Amino acid sequence: MQIPLDLARTLAAVIDEGTFDAAARRLRITPSAVSQRVKSLEQQLGRVLVVRSKPARPTEAGAAIVRLARQLALLEHDALAGFGLGEGDDAGGAGGAGGAGEAAAARPVSLPLAVNADSLATWFLPALARVAQRHPVVFDLYRDDQDFTAGLLESGTVMGAVTSQATPVAGCLVRPLGVMRYEAVAAPAYVDRWGVVDRGADALDTAPVVDFDRRDDLQREYLVGRGVDADRPPRHYVPASNDFATAIKLGLGWGLLPAFQSAAELELGALVRLGGSPVDVPLYWQQWNLRSPLLDAIAGAVIDEARRELRA
């Protein structure tokens, strides 16, 4: 049995775009043609491949087909680059046949990647910007907690991920990036009101805390380290990295911030350290184990940026 590649690409478009109508617009065919292609693939494989919800999502069998389609798109991109088609000039694209003009005309390949919110808000994007300057690529970024991004690799949703998981996902390579160190901080007015520095653990038992979302365990880990029942303090939930930091700086509650988001304010006295041990989060880069110059270029840029910006 063979998998028709055009049908696999159609299924991937449905999952990427979320609906059959959106996939049709992307593929420049009718929605009924998209539906017929997916049904034909399901009939040939004898499996249901997509849950027809909004957004559409793959079944376990469908995820394997989507993963294949994405791998093929990446390998096709690399093959065309080997012929001098679709890649920019290494020196910056001075023009001429096969140079920047072709790069400008080439349709970029889409690379799905997963990254935790704090990395996305601080050090991660400059690495991708450097890659995009040299390669015809667009990025489809999935934001999730670093403890959960590896799951997006396992499902085939993404090709690479910043994750806290050191053990490689099946079929993936893993490289260490460094450590993001978080310190518990609060605004001076908040410290004065709640006494979280002078009274320590006793105050932390009742003082409001800011969590990113209900899967954010950083503040919980800190509270346990201070001997506080982590379920007792009242909580704000602010599910965006920069807004999370702003909420702490405005005095809504205390929380753990990396130096990227707190160093300047700590130096100016606009934030106060609460004491206790910092929380270190080791980060790793995992990617599909494919021989792909583009995927390797992304990994190299991410690792270089992490070595400059994160703790060893």
Q: For the segment 262-291, what is each residue's pLDDT rounded down to a tens digit?
A: 999 999 999 999 999 999 999 999 999 988
Phi and psi angles of residue 305, each rounded to the nearest 5 degrees, phi first:
-65, -40
Query: Residue 180 and residue 132: Cα distance in Å, rounded?
Result: 25
Which pLDDT score is estimated for 192? Answer: 97
DSSP run (H or E) holding 140? strand 137-143
Which pLDDT score is estimated for 271? Answer: 98
Average pLDDT over all residues of the chain: 90
pTM (predicted TM-score)? 0.81
Over residues 286-302, the mean pLDDT reads 94
Give CA angle at 179 (285, 214), nearest 5°: 85
Q: Give all domains of the chain, ordered by start, each with its CATH number.
A: 1-82 (1.10.10.10), 180-281 (3.40.190.10)
Query: Residue 312 and residue 308: Cα distance in Å, rounded?
Result: 9
Task: Identify which of 8, 302, 307 has the alpha carbon closest to the alpha carbon of residue 126.
Answer: 302
Sequence-distant (6+) residues with CB within 8 A of 37 are 6, 7, 10, 11
In this structure, are strands 172-186 and 255-258 parallel, antiparallel, or unpaired? antiparallel
**Burial of 8: CB neighbours in 10 Å, binned 0-12, 13-18, 19+:** buried
Residue 169 pLDDT level (bands cut at 50, 70, 90) = very high
Report H helices in the chain. 5-17, 20-27, 31-45, 60-82, 100-105, 117-122, 124-134, 149-154, 188-194, 201-204, 218-225, 241-249, 259-268, 293-309
DSSP run (H or E) holding 257? strand 255-258
Residue 302 pLDDT level (bands cut at 50, 70, 90) = very high
Which pLDDT score is estimated for 195? Answer: 96
Which pLDDT score is estimated for 84? Answer: 67
Among 93-102, 176-185, 237-246, the range scoring the smallest mean pLDDT is 93-102
Quick: pLDDT tens for 181-191: 999 999 999 99
Which pLDDT score is estimated for 2? Answer: 86
Query: Residue 251 and residue 152: Cα distance in Å, rounded?
Result: 35
Which pLDDT score is estimated for 101? Answer: 41
Helix (H, G, I), strand (E, B) or coil at 111: strand
Residue 246 pLDDT level (bands cut at 50, 70, 90) = very high
Helix (H, G, I), strand (E, B) or coil at 142: strand
Sequence-distant (6+) residues with CB within 8 A of 104 are none
Amino acid at 252: L
The percent of residues in the chain predicted with pLDDT above 90, rounded, is 77
The percent of residues in the chain predicted with pLDDT above 70, rounded, is 93
**Based on C-alpha coordinates, what's the Rg of the chain?**
23
Q: Could you identify the residue written with the tokens 């991708």?
A: 128
